Structure 1
Amino acid sequence: MLQRLLGALPLLPALAQQRVMKPVVVFVLGGPGAGKGTQCARIVQKYGYTHLSAGDLLRDERKKPDSQFGELIDTYIKDGKIVPVEITISLLQREMDQTMQVNAQKNKFLIDGFPRNEDNFQGWKKTMDKKADVVYILFFDCDNETCIARCLERGKSSGRSDDNRESLVKRIETYQQSTKPIIDQYEKLGKVRRVDASKSVDEVFADVQKIFDKEG
């Protein structure tokens, strides 16, 4: 059934054949409230990357009145669970294809909040390994209490249904159990760039700039 529903998300196969350059991807990971979105906005401005937030794409998709995935995505997010990988990768691939269709040279992407578990990791390898080059993971490392405090403050104005303490505790548990092991796997491959995300926004970005100035 899921494969049938995925027909609602065209992957622009003609474009995949036309483009000369592969997408260059930096995965951006860290707990909820670690500051991924804030830092990604600064990276986009300074280094010209395109920022794709897996979470934002899922939230936008569930708001669409005609989306066949909306109710399913809503249930997963409210429960602090990870949405099936087929849906997430389809949304990410669609956005990358559309961006490069407009400008084939705009092939550098920050993918924020993905891969979040082993299923995501394996799904990406199976679907995207030959279609995109992952150069490293930018890991925003932040303690749980700081993350929770930031999200609760954000929740006062964000309107996000998951910016509440109950959902946050579930999300952090999911992150520790499912996402952190993926970061550890990439660490063994020498493909993790760690940033202390408990610092101020400006201090964190100063550390981020050192990474991007060196790595490109």
Structure 2
Amino acid sequence: MIRRAISGGKFIMSKFNVVFVLGGPGAGKGTQCEKIVKEFGYVHLSAGDLLRAERAKGGKLADMIEHHITNGSIVPVEVTCSLLDKAMEDSGKQDFLIDGFPRNENNLQGWQKAMDDKTTVKFVLFFDCPEEDCVQRCLERGLTSGRTDDNEESMRKRIVTYTQSTMPIIKYYESQGLVRQIKANRPIDEVFEQVKQAFSS
């Protein structure tokens, strides 16, 4: 259900504003999203975090989500969209960073079918980071994160999935003039300077 805003004493339909945050696993999306939230007031929604939280609840979806996460494959779009939709509605806010979604053509089509009438995609923030840097970052993160997918085998699978499935989505949005590319293999503060420029342009 779309948020309602008051204008001229009347209720009007108001769409959520969305910035998709894409890049390889370990590209620094989560770190930069934390900074964006503080600087620009967006709500950060990580598709992966929502799926992991749903998995932790147990129940009929948990095993299916675990299978996809462990194998570096992509959870059915209907599940991810429903979790994102609920999180946006529950937040009571207007502006969202959606991190790690859409990850393939099926995700994109599912999003457009379910969410186009509820959201406006402002742009795509693309964190471009070399594969080996991504692997090393995730292995370091795995020492403390407790994430089952922060190991080299899962990482390599996730990178293959990203290259084959997510890069075409980035190219699609690039053709729409909606991609703002960030060189992500730099120190965190240098990366954020690029991010601030992307949000200001």
User: Equivalent residue for 1:86?
Assistant: 78
Q: CA deviation at 1:179?
A: 0.2
Task: Determine which of 202, 208, 216 is the counterpart of 2:189.
Answer: 202
**Residue type matched to 1:140 in 2?**
F
Q: CA deviation at 1:18?
A: 4.2
* 2:160 paired with 1:173: yes
- Distance in structure 1 (CA, Å) of the matches to 2:82 and 2:32: 25
Give the SS at the match of 2:72: coil
Q: CA deviation at 1:68?
A: 2.0
- Distance in structure 2 (CA, Å) of the matches to 1:18 and 1:71: 36
Structure 1 residues not aligned, in runs of 5+: 1-12, 101-105
Q: CA deviation at 1:212?
A: 1.1
8 Å CA contact 2:102, 2:166 repeated in 1: yes
Q: CA deviation at 1:17?
A: 6.6
Deviations 1:142-186 (A, max 9, x none): 000000000000000000000000000000000000000000011
* 2:20 paired with 1:27: yes
- Distance in structure 1 (CA, Å) of the matches to 2:114 and 2:161: 24
**Residue type matched to 1:93 in 2?**
D
Deviations 1:11-41 (A, max 9, x none): xx4xx37454211000000000000000000
Work out the percentage of aligned pairs sharing the same amino acid: 57
User: Equivalent residue for 2:124?
Assistant: 137
Task: Determine which of 35, 42, 48 is the counterpart of 2:35.
Answer: 42
Give the SS at the match of 2:14: coil
Q: How many residues align?
A: 194
* 2:50 paired with 1:57: yes
User: Equivalent residue for 1:8?
Assistant: none
**Residue type matched to 1:78 in 2?**
T
**Residue type matched to 2:79 in 1?**
I
Task: Determine which of 62, 67, 84 is the counterpart of 1:70.
Answer: 62
User: Equivalent residue for 2:10?
Assistant: none
Higher share in helix: 1
- Distance in structure 2 (CA, Å) of the matches to 1:61 and 1:150: 25
- Distance in structure 1 (CA, Å) of the matches to 2:56 and 2:137: 24
**Residue type matched to 2:197 in 1?**
K
- Distance in structure 1 (CA, Å) of the matches to 2:50 and 2:188: 24
8 Å CA contact 2:129, 2:183 repeated in 1: yes
- Distance in structure 1 (CA, Å) of the matches to 2:114 and 2:129: 30
Deviations 1:26-83 (A, max 9, x none): 0000000000000000000010000000000000100003x32111000010010000
- Distance in structure 2 (CA, Å) of the matches to 1:94 and 1:17: 12
Task: Determine which of 94, 97, 114 is the counterpart of 2:89.
Answer: 97
- Distance in structure 2 (CA, Å) of the matches to 1:17 and 1:25: 14
- Distance in structure 1 (CA, Å) of the matches to 2:175 and 2:3: 33
Higher share in strand: 2
* 2:171 paired with 1:184: yes
- Distance in structure 2 (CA, Å) of the matches to 1:40 and 1:27: 11
**Residue type matched to 2:72 in 1?**
G
Structure 2 residues not aligned, in runs of 5+: 6-12
- Distance in structure 1 (CA, Å) of the matches to 2:100 and 2:155: 15
RMSD across aligned C-alpha pairs, in angstroms? 1.0
Give the SS at the match of 1:92: helix
